[in-house]
Amino acid sequence: MNASTSEKDPPPSPGPWRRILFTPVRDLIGLRAPNRLSINQMLIEAALPSALADLILLTTKKTRLTRAERADVASEFISHFRDGMESGASPDELVESFGEPRRVAKLIRRAKKRNRPMPWRVAMKTIKTVGLCLAAFIVFYLACGLYMLAGKPNVSVDYLAKVNATATSVPADERAWPHYREALLQLEKIPSLRTHSRQPMPGEPGWETFEAYLDEQAEALNIVRQAAQYPTLGFVVGWTFSEEDLKLWPGMDSHAAEIESKGGCLFNISINHLVNLRELAKTIALNIDRAAAEGDGARVVADTEVMLTIASHAREILFLINDLVGWSIVTLTVERVGDAVAHHPEAFSDDHLQELAHRFSACDELMRVRFDGERWGFEDLLQRIYTDDGEGDGRITINGIRKLSSISGVQTGSYSGEYSISHGTMDVLIAPALNTITASRKEMLLEYNRLLDICLAESKRPLWERDYSRFDNEITSYDQELFYRMRYLPVSLLIPALEKVSISAEHLRQRRDALLVAFALEMYHRQHKAWPDSLDDLVPSLLPAVPPDCFDGQPLRYTLVDGQPLLYSVGNDRNDDGGKPPVYPNTGRPNYLAASGWTSAEALANDPVRVARNDGDWILWPRPIEELIVYPEDEE
Amino acid sequence: MRVERELMRGAGPVAVLKLLENGEMYGYELVSALSRRSEGVLDMGQSTLYPMLYNLEAKGFVKSRWDNSNSGRKRKYYELTKQGHTRLATDTKQWAAITRAMIALGIVSDPKPAGRDMISGALA
């Protein structure tokens, strides 16, 4: 034994603190393998000279085996060296006979690996292969991300110009909008009586407030009537506003400019003027109430024309929202003229009634369902979020993903308009996945148009024959299938409630048809001093044909209640209840609107609750008007 | 005289199997026995022995177990498996054939003891 080595390298003695450090508790806290696998600890306990301990430590470390395998090898070496020392060999001799540690480690590693169980080796090989594949995929994925970063949209079609085509086709001095605007700048807001359950009609308490209002607004209303002489509204939508328009909507220019700077598309265009046109129509409607009560049928006819023209002006731009506002104005007109004929028939001459009948008969175009604006809007969005291959196809861009995120409210990053490295990194990471999932530009457009076409085809059939189940199923799949929703995200976000839109048009048509029958009834009453027994008596002299009930296709229902005529539809339950509306189950009071909502016959058959709620008819004319309740003024 | 590595690669395993033929042995015991009984010809350090043992174990010719020695220390003991015995028999025949060939060629001129192969003779 080499005495100098053993004296120089006294075996380290594990102190109490070090012993504590190597308890199993430490391993547990550190989530490490058990202490029995600690080679350091084994060497400390073996009390080998440091030259041998270092040799074992170095060799086992270089083997790069598992912790358990290294511990096993170290144990064997410790045992070997101790045997050697006991048999009289010095540490130096043992070190010399050991061999070169790196070579030993290499040989041991090779042998030990062969010794590993087959499942373990298979698992390792699998992990290695999967790891390589994963690495290759990540490289490919990041390359795709960079490729996507290079894609830029190409806004090649000016859809805004298409939308404004009608407005800009007429000279500025032949447009109605400047006159409407002038009236709007003068017009006060319609009074709102907090104490009244509804707006009073002529003769009811509170009507005097509206009468006074109409007197004050007479000049503005005349300007509105002049505006309605122009066939074209001429309101040009866009990102900029004239100084005059900004008087109506202060601050709109900066708001619009901000949206435009963020890449706003057709769907972001401001259509504030629709609210204003509806306000004008409401004011004119008040005047129809007043004119009828004053027996001035000519004024009713004239203001009816004004209101229908405002409705037509509202629909000048082809968006669905324009149609809906236009229809709401036509509905308002039908209701008010219907009220006038019901409550003040004496105000109208036969010519007035005939003129009104002709005017409302010609409203079909106003009630037509159109999706042109929606298609343009969608195409405009696509050209801003996809690349353009020149053949109508392309892949989604990074900016497109951001735009979709902002539309859907899904945050894919903290993008605030400025591009930074972190955003770019995030984009590279998410873009390829989204690009893989998201449909191509062409597929996206086809899907959107397909859904629109399904609904458009259905809207051309009579309501009682319609079946929206196919469309409903498509929409349901967007709601329920995440992949489908993600693939066609713009479609699922932007497809309008087309079914409801089409049904709204049918409801309006039904109301309009009932009004035409009301005109005929009044004429019949004048001619015969009595109401007809059946609506067939009106045909053909006063009515070309009895219009159908939109719920079942049968002729519109007619009855006499207290000697007065009543026109109604069987309503959603498809049962003729003799003109009685549904009632609220808790109060027993009539619920006039409950029967008008349309549900397909199949869906209704499976929904007894709805059937019970809709049990009654939809009263069309005379329009049922809730009792006016006037509440006392508040103390404060 | 020390044997070249390539020769050792062929002779080492059969020598170890032979040593284990009569019972289990631990690492240092094997090193010592090999050195002593081959008169240093098959002297091998840990760098050769232990990888060799692990290989033999991987091939199923030997198996190991940890046990306490008489001194109370733990040691890893190796013993031949059934497969190892078969392998040893095969290798012995091959080495005998090689030895005969070497004698015939005059490379081994004075085999001692006669009729036994070199390795068996050396380790007997």
The domains of chain B, with CATH numbers, are 5-123 (1.10.10.10)
Flag whether pLDDT at B118 surpasses 60.
no
| pLDDT surpasses 50 at A337 | yes
- Cβ atoms of A583 and A589 within 8 Å: the answer is yes
Cβ contact A108–B58 (<8 Å)? no
Chain B residues inside the 8 Å CB shell of A74: none
Percent of chain A exceeding pLDDT 70 equals: 90
Return the higher-pLDDT residue of A231 and A14: A231
Q: Where does the pLDDT of residue A416 fall: very low under 50, low under 70, confident under 90, or very high at 90 and above?
A: very low
Six-digit token pair at B100?
């005969």
pLDDT tens, position by position, A160-202: 999 999 999 999 999 999 999 999 999 999 999 989 989 999 9
- Nearest residue to A277 via CA among A224, A346, A337: A224
Instruction: Taking residues A485-510, report their average pLDDT.
Output: 88
Q: What is the pLDDT of residue A298?
A: 98
How far, in Å, CA of A504 to CA of A506, rounded?
A: 5
pLDDT at residue number A417? 40
Find the closest chain A residue to B58 by CA distance: A115
| Across A564-592, average pLDDT | 93
CA distance B2 to B16: 16
Say how many Å lie between the first and final Cα of chain A, rounded: 110
Q: Which of B47, B26, B43 is nearest to A105 (CA)?
A: B47
Cβ atoms of A559 and A531 within 8 Å: the answer is: no
Judge whether residue A9 has pLDDT over 60: no
Cα–Cα separations (whole angstroms), residue A560 to A111, A125, A297, A393 = 105, 89, 25, 62
> Beta-carbon neighbour count of residue A476 at 10 Å?
11
The whole-number pLDDT of residue A4 equals: 38
pLDDT given at position A18: 52
pLDDT of residue B70: 80
pLDDT exceeds cutoff 80 at B32: yes
pLDDT digit string, tens, across residues A520-544: 999 999 999 999 999 999 999 999 9
Are B47 and A100 within 8 A, CB to CB? yes
Q: Residue A293 has what pLDDT?
A: 97
Q: Does B112 score more than 90 pLDDT?
A: no
CB-count exposure of residue A597 (10 Å: 0-12, 13-18, 19+): middle
**The pLDDT of residue A232 is above 80:** yes
Do A56 and A62 meet the contact criterion of CB atoms below 8 Å apart?
no
Which range has the worst mean pLDDT, A297-301, A433-437, A528-532, B2-6? B2-6
> Burial code of A533-570, b = ≥16 C-beta within 10 A, e = fewer?
eebebbeeebbeebbbbbbbeebbbbeeeeeebbbbbb
pLDDT in tens, A338-387: 999 999 999 999 999 999 999 999 999 999 998 999 999 999 999 999 99
Percent of chain A with pLDDT over 90: 57
Interface check A120 vs B, CB under 8 A:
no
Q: What is the ipTM of this complex?
A: 0.84
CB contact under 8 A, A77 and B58: no
pLDDT at A339: 97
Across the interface, which of A80, A84, A108 has its CB nearest the CB of B54?
A108
Residues A104, B46: C-beta atoms closer than 8 Å:
yes
pLDDT of residue A418: 39
Tell me the HSE value of A92 on the side-chain side, using a 13 A CA sphere: 8
Please, which residues bridge with residue B63 across strands?
Answer: B79
- Closest Cα partner for A511 from A627, A624, A346? A624
Q: Which among A82, A97, A114 has the least Cβ separation from residue B55?
A: A114
Is the C-alpha dihedral spanning A591, A596, A598, A601 positive or negative? positive
Residue B79 near chain A (CB below 8 Å) = no
| Collapsed DSSP state (helix, strand, coil) of residue A396 | strand
User: Over the range A117-127, which residues count as b (16 or more CB within 10 Å of their CB) and which as e?
Assistant: eeeeeeeeeee
CA distance A435 to A427: 11
Predicted pLDDT at A264: 81
More confident call, A473 vs A462:
A462
B positions 19-58 inside 8 Å of A (CB): 26-29, 31-32, 45-48, 50-55, 57-58
Residue A104 near residue A95, CB atoms below 8 Å: no
Q: Which of A293-302, A486-495, A618-627 has the highest mean pLDDT?
A: A293-302
Candidate from A82, A97, A111 with C-beta closest to B58 = A111
The tokens for A617 are: 């008819």
Q: What is the pTM of this model?
A: 0.69
List of E strands, A47-153: none
Residue A425 is predicted with a pLDDT of 67
Spatial contact of B123 and B19, defined as CB atoms under 8 Å apart = yes
**pLDDT for residue A328:** 97
- What's the rounded mean pLDDT across residues A489-510? 88
In angstroms, rounded to a whole number, what is the distance separating the alpha carbons of residues A556 and A568? 7
In chain B, the residue whose alpha carbon lies closest to the alpha carbon of A110 is B51
Distance from CA of A10 to the nearest CA of B (A): 20
Quick check: B55 and A111 CB within 8 A? Answer: yes
Q: What is the mean pLDDT of residues A204-225?
A: 96
* pLDDT tens-digit series, residues B38-77: 887 777 777 788 999 999 999 999 999 999 888 788 899 9
Return d(Cα A51, Cα A29) in angstroms, integer: 32
What is the predicted pLDDT for the residue at A165? 95
Interval A34-49 mean pLDDT = 80
Contact A103 B29 (CB under 8 A): no
Who among A83, A99, A115 is closest to B47 (CB)? Answer: A99
Q: Does residue B10 belong to the interface with chain A, where contact is any CB pair within 8 Å?
A: no
Test B74 with A104 for CB contact under 8 angstroms.
no
CA distance A464 to A466: 6
Report CB contact under 8 Å: B47, A103.
yes
Residue A421 has pLDDT above 50, yes or no: no
Mean pLDDT of A582-608: 88
The mean of the pLDDT values for chain A is: 87
The string of pLDDT tens digits covering residues A64-100 is 998 889 999 999 999 999 999 988 889 998 888 888 8
Do the Cβ atoms of B46 and A75 come within 8 Å?
no
Q: Does A114 touch chain B (CB under 8 A)?
A: yes
β-bridge partners, B62: B80
Nearest by CB to A107, from B29, B32, B47: name it.
Answer: B47
pLDDT for residue A407: 64
For residues B13 and B90, give the distance between their C-alpha atoms in angstroms, rounded to a whole number: 12
Contacts of B51 in chain A (CB under 8 A): 104, 107-108, 110-111
The Cα A124–Cα A620 span in angstroms is: 78
Nearest-CA distance from A112 to chain B in Å? Answer: 6
- Coarse DSSP helix, strand, coil percentages of chain A, rounded to the nearest 5 percent: 60, 5, 35
In A72-111, the residues whose Cβ lies within 8 Å of chain B are 73, 75-77, 79-80, 82-84, 86-87, 97-100, 103-104, 107-108, 110-111
Measure the N-to-C terminal CA separation of chain B; round to a whole number of Å: 19
What does the alpha-carbon distance between residue A347 and residue A345 come to, in Å, rounded to a whole number? 5
CB contact under 8 A, A79 and B26: yes
Cβ atoms of residues A415 and A430 within 8 Å: no
* Interchain proximity B26–A83, CB inside 8 Å: yes
Among A111-115, A202-206, B45-49, the range scoring the smallest mean pLDDT is B45-49
| Min Cα separation A75/chain B (Å) | 8
Report the distance separating Cα A636 and Cα A64, nearest Å.
87
Give me chain B's average pLDDT, please: 83
Q: Give the least confident one: A35-39, A280-284, B54-58.
A: A35-39
Residues of B in contact with A86 (CB under 8 A): 71
Nearest residue to A311 via CA among A296, A322, A298, A295: A322
Asked if residue A23 has pLDDT above 70, the reply is no
Separation in Å, CA of A131 to nearest CA in chain B: 27
Which among A84, A86, A110 is the nearest to B51, CB-wise?
A110
Confidence of residue A634 (pLDDT cuts 50, 70, 90): low
Beta bridge partners of B75: B67
Interchain proximity A103–B57, CB inside 8 Å: no
Q: Which has more pLDDT, B21 or A496? A: B21
Q: Is it true that the peptide bond before A622 is cis, omega within 30 degrees of 0? A: yes
pLDDT for the residue A3: 36
Helix spans in A530-575 (H) = none
